[in-house]
Structure 1
């Protein structure tokens, strides 16, 4: 979390722009299946942070020195970010959620952080590039001149929107947060925080809304595992072929 705040400090001070993208197991699935999603995460001006304990496990399996402190979930990061923004004078814009959720969430934030400059727009608009609705939202964001733009339009849709509009946005940090405001505003139940280090938040969400999450948690992990295993095998075959070719040439 401290590293992310340092990155934001630098981006605001330099009047630069960085995308801070969240990655969980659902995001791993998107990386394999969605070219736009993958391109945004691979962009040099994108910082990808871990937002799911299974990513820690996969990183360890790949030999990376990861542990629980490397996971920064938006549910845990959201309020510290608001406090930091108020203290630093950062202007914050939230894009996403229904009008009711957004109104409730902004009201709670303004009550808790009275000196925080914050505004927002719901995520239900015509987000197609070139549409009047999209131009109106981009114009509203730019008139507010936020230092921090938080986009919570659901994983996949929010990354596509950022990719299509980032060059037109006058902001320093663009963060992807999924359904963060829904959790904060109380529209969606939040898993007990002790489940996060155990990697069991998914089970709570699945039981809370099986119609919404069954595919994400019961099907997609197996697809990710298949892609990872086949990818490792392809790398091994290429390495073996390269080694054989080198021996033959010598």
Structure 2
């Protein structure tokens, strides 16, 4: 990366984080630590975000589920199908609510059966390999490649061995902002910054053209 490009890229990164530097987990009220409950909550959020529905609705639905006590796989599995549907509806997640309720129940049972309710067991099985983590996550009902990517992107701050990860949507955001579009070069731009926050901010730029333009204007005005 040339010195000029590096300086411009870092100005853009600074403007990006100032405009929308927050993970989706934080927006959903998840205090992320490497402990079972918040990791499971990120899994639920990742499933909701991976559907074809607005990210704001997915976040609101996750908050509603957690607000009704479904913060652990045991509590999710013990909730009735209707209780899950009602919580999803409360968050505005109505288009896919019935199918998603079923998937959440089945997924919670699998997390309990395979990893005893603790996704750190998956982390240990993967032994630092991000691809293995993503493959393991896709065993969970309702989690496909997109959901697995979101999970790894959001938890990379507490599971750093999986490597810097922005996913396809993050790369789209980088392109929209004029940032490098390879993960390796983006990692250089992100150096010294929270990788999960930076990756989520790139996704926000990809999803909202107006946000991306604000970031570009702010970067241009920086000395």
Same fold by TM (over 0.5)? no
Larger CA Rg, structure 1 vs 2: 1
Between the two structures, name the one with larger relative contact order (CA 8 Å, sep ≥ 6).
2
